[in-house]
Amino acid sequence: MTDIVGDKLRGHLQDLVLAALEGGEAHGLEILRRLEAAGDGSLRLKEGSLYPTLYRLEASGMVKAQWDEQTKGRRGPRRRMYRLTAKGAAALARGRIEWREFARIIGGIMKGAT
Binding site for other proteins (CB under 8 A): 27-29, 46-49, 51-53, 55-56, 59, 76-80
- Exposure pattern of 71-103 as b/e (b: 16+ CB <10 Å)? eeeeeeeebebbebbeebeebbeebeeeeeeee
Nearer to other proteins, 65 or 89 (CB): 65
Least distance between other proteins and beta carbon 14 (Å): 11
Contact 31, 50 (CB under 8 A): yes
Beta partners for residue 84, in sequence order? 63
Least distance between other proteins and beta carbon 108 (Å): 33
Nearer to other proteins, 78 or 94 (CB): 78
Nearer to other proteins, 44 or 96 (CB): 44
Least distance between other proteins and beta carbon 56 (Å): 5
Nearer to other proteins, 77 or 112 (CB): 77
Least distance between other proteins and beta carbon 47 (Å): 5
Q: What are the distances in angstroms from CA 62 to CA 13, 15, 35, 105?
A: 13, 10, 18, 28
Eight-class DSSP state of 26: B
